[in-house]
Amino acid sequence: MSGTSVIVFADIAGSTALYEVLGNARATEAVTHVVHWLGQSVESQGGRVVKTLGDGVLATFDTAPRAVQAMAALMRDHQQHLREWPSEMCLQVRVGVAGGEVVEVDGDCYGDAVNLAARLCERARPGEVWLSASTVKDAEAAQGSASAPGTRFVRLGSLPIRGKAEPITVYGLEWRQDEDPDSQTMLTNLPSTLGTLHSGPMQLQVHWHGEGHVYSAQDMPLLLGRAPQAQVCVPDPRVSREHARIDWRNGAFVLTDLSRFGTWVRFEGFEPVLLRRDTCLLHGAGQVALGVAFSDDSAPALAFTVSDAGVMVQ
């Protein structure tokens, strides 16, 4: 039997390493507990659990709006559980969502949407929900060009996805209600410029090896990395293929580390800040070192300047 469905993959990020830390018995108990809760959450929001996958669940929803609302509720509830559950149960969750034609055989489901949802889940960071462009389009069309209450969609850009011949447009779901977006960035003792953000067009200037480029909010997201398809390609073996990303959020440029070894940010007049899967607001002028600290003279470092005319990367 075939039909159109919205597929959800939700799994536990980093579950493999958990077995080394806790041992097989305790890790199995923790993973089983969280996976069981994921299934209950999906079903309580009107979804159907197709199957469990060891450290996650595969589920379907009838409509995109229902899937979006369900995943927002799931992530918010899990955020609360992270504050309440024992430490070994505090496992981060990530989600991939995609819609399309699905074929059901003996209770299981197959199709491009299933594969895409799985790949989006693989690429998402802990605490993130990634969605296909068609899912976002369907959700907004059903809700009058608005996301579910208390949520919004953030365009992450055209990203390479395993199994896809061409990069596809991917969106993130901003599901947090009790946090100001700026509080999700890494807090440091750097001076805040939030009160003086310009209402006009902002620019980011980026310089790398003597070449400079200017980017506006419309050019975001900006991928920094070793991959040839990265907008700022840094062909250094110490740099991850997709090392960091710059997004435009609430009138500011936000840098997010995506790498294994970290990203260092040094604003003029301040000590460097190390980001490890963290984010920070870019303001003024400074440098970004990818994978290697500034103390190494050979560190692949970019210079940046943020102004009310755009962002320029050199």
Bridge partners (DSSP) of residue 56 are 11
184 pLDDT higher than 80: no
- How many Å is the maximal CA-CA distance in the chain? 64
pLDDT in tens, 137-174: 999 888 664 455 667 887 776 777 878 888 788 888 88
Q: What is the pLDDT of residue 191?
A: 33
Q: What is the pLDDT of residue 310?
A: 41
Whole-number Å distance between alpha carbons of 5 and 109: 10
311 pLDDT higher than 50: no
103: number of CA atoms within 13 Å, CB side? 5
> Mean pLDDT, to the nearest integer, of 119-132?
89
Beta strand residue intervals within the chain, DSSP E: 2-12, 48-52, 56-61, 93-105, 108-110, 129-132, 152-159, 168-174, 203-208, 211-216, 222-225, 232-233, 244-249, 252-257, 263-267, 273-275, 279-282, 285-290, 301-307, 310-313
> Mean pLDDT, to the nearest integer, of 16-45?
88
Three-state DSSP state, 274: strand
Place of tokens 């901003």: 174
Whole-number Å distance between alpha carbons of 260 and 17: 15
The full length of the chain comes to: 314
- The predicted model scores a pTM of 0.61
pLDDT category of residue 59 using cuts at 50, 70 and 90: very high
Three-state DSSP state, 288: strand
248 pLDDT higher than 50: yes
Lowest mean pLDDT among 17-31, 63-77, 253-267: 17-31
| Burial (CB count within 10 angstroms: exposed 0-12, middle 13-18, buried 19+), residue 24 | exposed
Q: What is the pLDDT of residue 160?
A: 72
Q: Which domains does the chain have, with CATH numbers?
A: 2-180 (3.30.70.1230), 199-313 (2.60.200.20)
Q: What is the pLDDT of residue 135?
A: 95
Token readout for 260 is 């294994």
